[in-house]
Structures are given as structure tokens and as C-alpha cells.
Amino acid sequence: MIVLKTSRELSLMKEACVISAGALKTVGLAIEPGITTAELDRIAEEYIRSKGAVPNFKGYQGYPATACISINNEVIHGIPSKKRVLREGDIVSIDLGAEYMGYHGDNAATFAVGDVSPEAKRLMDTTRESLYAGIKAACPGNRIGDISNAVQSYVEARGYSVVRQFVGHGVGTHLHEEPEVPNFGKAGHGIRLMPGMTLAIEPMVNAGHYDVKVLPDGWTTVTKDGSLSAHFEHTIAITPDGPQIMTVAP
């Protein structure tokens, strides 16, 4: 069931989203060669709790950390560790969220660690831009497939592939709600978008083939062909005036 949020609910959810975005920004500013993913996770949790919120990934279906931190060919759900050290030239995806007053925010971004290759930068730029292409299509009266097709078309026109096995989703009083928001599909198909819907749109884009696999830890998902992957995400609200990005850092 899709839950349409009232203006009051959207205001509460906006607060959760701002905290989520602030945490992501703070972690991004801390990224540098030599830092561990465990330290980045600590920074994220400390920020979220300092705002009176709760890390909504931690403990979700048994996930052990505040943030999913995925490096290079890791697509999503990388588990932070004191043994994982960022190195010059890596790209690192940070996915995290916060629960505040019963509402959830969810966002992600991929960051360069020092100087990265032109190929890595182009992948990151394409993934980020495809997110905004998807958001632009998230207007009332359009359909989920319009978002999906906007992302897929943007990505594939630049020679990359969108992950099929994982998709975006609704978000609100639960971290994952209906509807699913795939990053691939046909324009004009799927559920019609209505004011009050809140969605997490999150392109996951591979430099090579779209196939992925989950490692034995049960979480870390990597590209099957070892190619680089990038991930960007915003939580948005569908409003009568068009899409509103809620995960905007203070």
C-alpha cells in the first residue's frame, strides 16, 4: 500500500531528511586517503545521534553499522571495518539515513578519494546526473516508469549500465515502503505519481555489465565483472508543483 503524506507529515519527514543529508555531507568532508571505513561510520553515527535522531540502517534486517560504505567495484551494502583503509584513487559510496520523530530519510553519494582517474570521474558524474534526470521526471501525473526510463536512458546513452537486482523505493514511517522505483523501465508504465508520495530514487551504475553478486558476508554487493560502480540517492516528495528534494544538507 502506498501512503500519501500530509503537509504535516512531510514537514516531519523533511527534518529526518535534513539530518540524513547533514550526516552524508559530514562524512564526505572526512574522506581522505588513510582513513578507515569504520572511522567514517563512527562520524556518521555521531552526527545523527547529535541531532536527536537514530541511524535507521543500524540493526535493519541485522545490518551491523550506521552507513553502507562501498569501495570501487562494490555497488552497495559494504560493511565498515577497521581493516578497510581508503587509498588515493579509490571511489567510495556512502549510503545512510536517519529516523527522526518516526520518519525516515535516506540518501547516498559517491566520493573521490584524492585524485581519481578520468574514467572514475566520468562514471560518478554520469550517475549523479542520472539521479537528477530521474528526479526531473517525478512530476504528478507521470508514472514510475518515467523516472525509471529517464535514469536508464541517461546512463546507457553514455555507455554504462544500471543495476537490475536492486532498486529505489518509497520511504516514510518505514525505511522501505511501496512502491519500488527501478532504475530501468518503460516510460508511461507503472504506478501514477501523486502529490504526497515520497520516494528514494537511487541509481546504481556500473562501468561494465549490470550483473552483480552478493559476497559471503551476506551484504556486500559487487559487480560480477569487477568494474567500477557508483551510487547516488535522494529522498524526494511529489508535490503539486513538481518534485521536491528533501535530503538537502543544512
pLDDT digits (tens, 9 = 90+) for 169-190: 999 999 999 999 999 999 999 9
* Whether pLDDT at 60 is above 90: yes
Q: Write out the three cell numbers for 232.
A: 547516488
Q: Are 9 and 176 in contact (CB under 8 A)?
A: no
Cβ neighbors of 50 (< 8 A, separation 6 or more) are: none
* Whether pLDDT at 164 is above 90: yes
* Whether pLDDT at 228 is above 90: yes
pTM above 0.95, yes or no: yes
The mean predicted confidence, pLDDT, of the chain is 98
Q: Which helix (H) or strand (E) holds 206?
A: strand 204-206
- Which CATH superfamily, name and number, covers 7-245? Creatinase/methionine aminopeptidase superfamily (3.90.230.10)
Burial of 21 (0-12, 13-18, 19+ CB in 10 A): buried
Mean pLDDT of 43-69: 98
- Calculate the CA 156 to chain-centre distance: 19
Per-residue pLDDT tens for 7-38? 999 999 999 999 999 999 999 999 999 999 99
Q: Which helix (H) or strand (E) holds 236?
A: strand 234-239
Rounded CA separation 142/124 (Å): 27
141: left (phi over 0), alpha (psi -120 to 50) or beta: left
Residue 82 pLDDT grade (very low, low, confident, very high; cuts 50, 70, 90): very high
Q: Write out the three cell numbers for 89.
A: 584513487
Distances (CA, A) of 5 to 8, 62, 130, 170: 8, 28, 26, 11
* Whether pLDDT at 236 is above 90: yes
* Whether pLDDT at 250 is above 90: no
